C-alpha cells in the first residue's frame, strides 16, 4: 500500500510545481501597461489603453473566454461567523439564499486561509488570486462555477475573500441564474462605475448600450452602492503589444473605470490583470 501512496504523493507534488511555474509565467508576460482618459466634452470621454502579451497569441486564438455577468456584486464583512439573508453583508440588500421565499434565514460561515464555507458548503471561488497573479476559473468540471446553498437557492459566485478581515465578495442576479457569456481570446472588459448617474441617463460605450448592474466594492466604489456599466471587446496583439480605445458618452465626473485584460491559456485557466482609473 505504501508504494502507490508515495507515487500519488509524488505526482501531486509535481502537478503543483508545474502549475506554480505556469501561473508565475502568466503574470510576467501579460498585463495592462498604459491607460489614459481624455475629456472630449463634459459628458463624453475617450479611454485609451495598451496591453502587453508576449505569448504567441495565434496559438491560443481558438480558446474562448467565458465570463460571469452578475447583476449585483456585493462586498462586506462576515460578523460573528454568520451570513444573514436580511441586509446581506450589511449591504442594505435582501437575498433569499436558500429559496424558501423569505429573508429570515442565517447561515454559519467560516473564512479559512484557502477557502470559505457557508452552511457547511465549501464554496468554489470563480477568481483566485495571490500577490502575484489572478486567475479566472469559469467552470467546475463541465458546469459553470456557481454556488448554491440549496438546490432551489439563489445562484452566486464567490469573487473574493480576505481571511484576515473576514471580507467576502459575491456576485448574483437576484433569483435568476447568472449569465455566463463567451468571447474570443484576448479580451478587454470595461466597467464604468458611478454613484450619481440618474436612472434616466443612458450611458453609451462605443455607441452601444452596456450591460448594467451594481457594485459596492471598495476598490471601485468606496463601499457605496454604485451603478456599473460593462462592455467586452477584443484587442489585437501584434509583436507583444496591443492598443485600443473606447468612447464613453452621457456621463459626467466623477466616475471610476475598471479595465480588465483576460488571456486564456485554456478555457478554464484564464489570466486576469486589471487597473482602476479614477476620473475626478
DSSP the chain: -HHHHHHHHHHHHHHHHHHHHHHHHHHHHEEEEEEEEEEEETTEEEEEEEEEE-S-GGGGTTPEEEEEE-SEEEEEE-BTTEEESTTGGGSS----TTSSSSS--EEEEEE-SS-EEETTEEP-BSEEE-SS-EEE--EETTEES-B-SSTTSPPEEEEEEETTTTEEEEEEBTBSPPEEEEEESSEEEEEEEESS--TT---EETTBPPEEEEE--HHHHTTS-EEEEEEEEE---BTTEEEEEEEEES--SSEEEEEEEEEEEETTEEEEEEEEEEE-
Quick check: is 239 in a domain?
Answer: yes
Same domain, 160 and 225: no
* 77 domain residue, yes or no: yes
Cα 254 from chain centre: 23
Task: Sort residue 218 into left (φ over 0), alpha (ψ -120 to 50) or beta.
Answer: alpha
Residues 224 and 195 in one domain: yes
Whether residues 86 and 161 fall in one domain = yes
pLDDT at residue 131, rounded to an integer: 72
User: In this structure, are residues 168 and 161 in contact, taking their beta carbons and an 8 Å threshold?
Assistant: yes
Say how far apart CA 146 and CA 151 lie, in whole Å. 12
CA angle, 116 as apex, 83 and 169 as ends, to 5°? 65
Q: Is residue 13 part of a domain?
A: no
* 57 and 83 within one domain: no
Residue range of the domain that includes 220? 29-63+185-264
Does residue 56 lie within any of the structural domains? yes
Answer with the one of 172, 197, 232 that is the final residue of a domain.
172
Do the domain assignments include residue 135?
Answer: yes
Q: Look at residue 19 and tell me if it is in a domain.
A: no
Relative to beta strand 187-194, strand 226-234 is: antiparallel
Whether 99 and 148 share a structural domain: yes
**Same domain, yes or no: 83 and 44:** no
Same domain, yes or no, for 45 and 125? no
Same domain, 146 and 219: no
The pLDDT value recorded for residue 10 is 53
Residue 278 within a domain:
no
Is 122 inside a domain boundary? yes
Q: Which of 172, 197, 224 is the last residue of a domain?
A: 172
Number of domains in the chain: 2
Are 141 and 207 members of one domain?
Answer: no
Same domain, 155 and 213: no
What pTM value is reported for the model? 0.88
Asked if residues 55 and 29 have their Cβ atoms less than 8 Å apart, the reply is yes
pLDDT of residue 200: 84
CATH number at residue 51: 2.60.40
Contact present, 86 and 67 (Cβ < 8 Å): no
- Average pLDDT per run of 10 along the chain, which is 280 residues long? 48 52 56 97 98 95 97 95 96 94 96 90 90 89 93 94 92 87 98 91 96 96 96 97 98 97 96 97
Rounded-to-integer distance, Cα 62 and Cα 154, Å:
33
Assess whether 159 and 216 both reside in one domain.
no
User: Residue 192: which of 209, 177, 179 has the closest Cα?
Assistant: 209
Phi-psi region of 223 (alpha: psi -120 to 50; beta: other; left: phi over 0): left
Residue 280's pLDDT is what? Answer: 95
Residue 235 φ/ψ, nearest 5 degrees: -125, 135
pLDDT of residue 72: 96
pLDDT of the residue at 22: 54
Q: Are residues 76 and 53 in the same domain?
A: no
Amino acid at each position: 500500500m505504501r508504494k502507490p501512496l508515495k507515487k500519488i504523493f509524488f505526482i501531486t507534488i509535481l502537478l503543483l510545481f508545474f502549475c506554480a511555474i505556469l501561473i508565475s509565467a502568466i503574470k510576467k508576460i501579460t498585463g495592462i501597461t498604459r491607460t489614459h482618459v481624455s475629456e472630449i466634452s463634459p459628458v463624453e470621454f475617450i479611454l485609451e489603453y495598451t496591453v502587453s502579451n508576449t505569448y504567441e497569441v495565434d496559438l491560443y486564438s481558438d480558446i474562448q473566454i467565458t465570463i460571469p455577468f452578475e447583476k449585483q456584486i456585493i462586498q462586506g464583512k462576515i460578523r460573528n461567523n454568520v451570513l444573514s439573508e436580511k441586509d446581506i453583508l450589511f449591504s442594505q440588500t435582501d437575498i433569499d439564499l436558500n429559496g424558501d421565499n423569505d429573508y429570515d434565514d442565517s447561515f454559519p460561515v467560516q473564512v479559512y486561509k484557502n477557502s470559505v464555507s457557508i452552511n457547511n458548503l465549501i464554496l468554489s471561488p470563480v477568481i483566485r488570486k495571490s500577490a502575484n497573479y489572478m486567475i479566472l476559473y469559469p467552470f467546475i468540471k463541465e458546469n459553470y462555477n456557481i454556488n448554491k446553498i440549496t438546490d432551489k437557492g439563489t445562484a452566486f459566485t464567490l469573487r473574493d475573500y480576505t481571511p484576515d478581515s473576514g471580507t467576502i465578495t459575491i456576485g448574483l442576479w437576484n433569483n435568476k441564474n447568472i449569465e455566463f457569456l463567451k468571447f474570443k481570446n484576448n479580451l478587454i472588459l470595461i466597467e464604468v462605475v458611478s454613484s450619481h448617474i440618474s436612472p434616466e441617463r443612458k450611458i453609451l460605450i462605443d455607441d452601444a448600450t452596456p450591460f448594467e448592474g451594481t457594485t459596492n466594492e471598495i476598490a471601485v466604489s468606496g463601499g457605496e452602492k454604485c451603478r456599473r456599466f460593462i462592455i467586452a471587446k477584443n484587442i489585437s496583439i501584434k509583436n507583444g503589444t496591443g492598443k485600443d480605445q473606447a468612447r464613453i458618452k452621457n456621463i459626467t465626473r466623477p466616475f471610476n473605470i475598471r479595465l480588465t485584460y483576460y488571456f486564456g491559456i485554456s478555457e478554464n485557466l484564464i489570466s486576469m490583470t486589471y487597473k482602476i482609473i479614477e476620473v475626478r
